[in-house]
Amino acid sequence: MLIETTLSGVILGGMYALVALGLTLQYGVARIMNLSYGELLIAAAFAALWFSSGLMVNPLIGLLVVPPAAFAVSYVIYRVLLAPLVRRAANRDALEVDSILATFGLLFVIQGVMLAAFGGAYFSYSFLAVPVQIAGVTVAANRLLALVLALAIGLGLYLALTRTRLGTAVRAVAVDPTAAQLVAIDVRAVAAFAFALGGALTAAAGVLVSMFLTFNANLGVVFTLKALVVVIMGGVGNLLGALIAGLILGLVENYVAVLVDPGLTLAATYAIFLIVLLLRPQGILGRANR
């Protein structure tokens, strides 16, 4: 049972890490603290549901269509809704507060649209819901596939950020926007791109999550919360940190749910979050500021 718990904890943690990747780009690079993050994820899950149950096609096709659409939507949101706030903000703190407020409003708009369309009922669809044996432990095939795809996406992002010109620009802006400007990087364009890419990753996570999770229109907040906790725990803008934090969170939640009480998982999440913040305010892999 311990192995089983650990394995499902790793799968959950991998998903959390993927869910957090998009946010770490949006917050770490574009400096937008996006509270409507989880709503986009759930919207993507509904889109995948539509592919699977409405169009009767493989939801993996959704993985090819939904993230690019989310990229476009996020890009427009950044340009129309958030860029004015970036221009208006006197400093980073002001932008953080403004973006929190604006995306908080956005949260209610997106959630309201989904509630109007789907109501508060829970949805799920059946895809690859067959058991697979690994090392003597039974796992659902859809969860395993989701984890593998999540790792592939995470690795792809890592390579894109470290091996390409645009990726280098994105990392430069994450470290120091002012200095990035000095080496002729168009910081605003990079920020818009990073925000949109973050949106695309969120949507990918939404599609993957929808393959094995029952969801409803109100669930976005939970994902936003988990993503925020993972991003901050891992160190803002740090992909490896997000992976480690996601795994810690997934494992602890699973152990608490199995060994203690399923009703206390959120309390466990918060306890770890606080412990990490009090011991290492900059996050597990974050750098101390001078």
Q: Which residues bind other proteins (CB under 8 A)?
A: 33, 35, 81, 84-85, 88, 93, 96-98, 100-102, 104-113, 115-116, 221-222, 224-225, 228-229, 232, 261, 263-264, 266-267, 270, 273-274, 277-278, 281, 287-288, 290
According to DSSP, the residues that pair with 132 across neighbouring strands are 139
* CA 202 to mean position of chain CA atoms: 5
Q: Using the minimum distance from each CB to other proteins, give the nearer residue, 143 or 226.
A: 226
* Angle at CA of residue 225, ends 167 and 149, nearest 5°: 50
Rounded to the nearest whole angstrom, what is the least distance from the CB of residue 115 to other proteins in the complex?
Answer: 7
Q: Using the minimum distance from each CB to other proteins, give the nearer residue, 145 or 272.
A: 272
Rounded to the nearest whole angstrom, what is the least distance from the CB of residue 171 to other proteins in the complex?
Answer: 16
Rounded to the nearest whole angstrom, what is the least distance from the CB of residue 144 to other proteins in the complex?
Answer: 29
Q: Any residues with CB less than 8 A from the CB of 202 and at least 6 apart, and which?
A: 19, 22, 23, 37, 40, 41, 44, 70
Both structure tokens of 37: 């993050």
Where do the H-state alpha helices sit in 119-219?
A: 141-163, 165-175, 177-182, 187-210
Q: Using the minimum distance from each CB to other proteins, give the nearer residue, 102 or 161.
A: 102
CA distance 144 to 132: 9
Q: Which long-range contacts (CB under 8 A, 24 or more apart) does 98-102 make?
A: 99/31, 99/32, 99/33, 99/34, 100/33, 100/35
Q: Using the minimum distance from each CB to other proteins, give the nearer residue, 56 or 93.
A: 93
Q: Using the minimum distance from each CB to other proteins, give the nearer residue, 54 or 287.
A: 287
Rounded to the nearest whole angstrom, what is the least distance from the CB of residue 137 to other proteins in the complex?
Answer: 28
Rounded to the nearest whole angstrom, what is the least distance from the CB of residue 111 to other proteins in the complex?
Answer: 6
Both structure tokens of 20: 């957090």
Rounded to the nearest whole angstrom, what is the least distance from the CB of residue 273 to other proteins in the complex?
Answer: 7
Q: Any residues with CB less than 8 A from the CB of 278 and at least 6 apart, and which?
A: none
Q: Using the minimum distance from each CB to other proteins, give the nearer residue, 10 or 73.
A: 73
Q: Using the minimum distance from each CB to other proteins, give the nearer residue, 8 or 111.
A: 111
3-class DSSP state for residue 30?
Answer: coil
Say if residues 160 and 167 touch (Cβ distance below 8 Å).
yes
Rounded to the nearest whole angstrom, what is the least distance from the CB of residue 222 to other proteins in the complex?
Answer: 8
* Angle at CA of residue 244, ends 269 and 94, nearest 5°: 70
